[in-house]
Amino acid sequence: MVLTDERLRTQIGAIAVRLSDIAGCVASEAEAATVVVRGMTEQAHRIADLAAALAEAANAIEEGARSQADTLAHARATLAINKPVIDALTRSAAGVASISVAVSEIARESRTLSLNARIEAARAGNAGKAFAVVAAEMSALTSRTKDATDDISARAEGIARDVGAADEVVAAHEALAAEQHELLSSSLAQAQRQRATAAELATITADTVDTVDQTAAAIGRVGANAVAARMLARQLAKLAKDPVRPA
C-alpha cells in the first residue's frame, strides 16, 4: 500500500511532531532529574562523611572520658587512703588537747600545793628551810610545767585547725570527685548516644544512596526511551514527507 493520501501523510507528520515534542520534554526532564540526582548523591556522601566524623568524635569523647574516669578513680582511691590518716590525726590532736588539760589541772594543783608548802615552811621558821627549798623548786617546776602546757595547748590547737582544714579539703575533693564522676558518666552516655545516632545516620545514608542509584538508573532508561522516541518521530516525519512506493 502506498502512502499517497494527503490526509494520512498530514496526520503522520503531526504525530511525528507531537512525538518529537514529547520526547524532547521527556529528555529535558530526564536531564534535569539527572542533575538533581547527582546533587542528592553528593549530599548523601557529605552526610556519610558527617556521620563518620560524628562517630569519630564520639570515640574521642568516650576515650577522653574514660581516661579522666581512671584518673578520677585513682584520686578517689588516694583520698580514701588519706582519710583514715586525717581521722587518726584528728583523734591524736583531741588526745593531746585532753592530756594538756589534765597536765594543766595537775600544774594548778601543784601550784596550790607549793604555795601551801611555802606558807607552812615560813611558819616553821629555821626548821622549815629545807622544806621551803623544796616548795620553791616545786613552784619553779609548776611554772615551767604551765609554760610547757600552754605551749602544748597552742600547738595542739594549731594542729587541730590544720587537720580540720585538711579534712575540709578532703571533703571538698570528695564532693568534687562525685560531681566529676556524674559529669563523666553523662559524657559517656552522650558519646554512646552520638555514636548510635551516627550509625543510624550512616544506615539511612546508605539506603538513600541505593535509592538514588536506582532512581538514576530509571532516569537513564527514561532518557534512552526519549532518545528512541525522538528517532522514531524523525522516521515518521521522513515517511510522511517521502512516501514509499512499491517497485
How many distinct structural domains can be found in the chain? 1
Cα-to-chain-centroid distance, residue 53? 16
The rounded distance, in Å, linking the Cα atoms of 221 and 218 is: 5
Residue 98: give its domain's CATH number: 1.10.287.950
Neighbour-count burial of 25, counting CB atoms closer than 10 A to its CB (0-12 exposed, 13-18 middle, 19+ buried): exposed
Q: Is 50 helix (H, G, I), strand (E, B) or coil?
A: helix
Residues 5-63 pLDDT 10s: 677 778 777 887 888 888 888 888 888 888 888 888 888 888 888 888 888 888 888 78
Range of the domain at 104: 6-241
Q: What is the DSSP string of 4-27?
A: --HHHHHHHHHHHHHHHHHHHHHH
In this structure, what C-alpha cell is assigned to residue 61? 569523647
Structural domain includes residue 94: yes
Structural domain includes residue 177: yes
Structural domain includes residue 23: yes
Structural domain includes residue 247: no
The rounded distance, in Å, linking the Cα atoms of 171 and 30 is: 72
Say if residue 241's pLDDT is above 80.
Answer: no
Residues 78-105 pLDDT 10s: 767 766 766 776 776 677 667 767 777 7
Quote the pLDDT of residue 135: 66
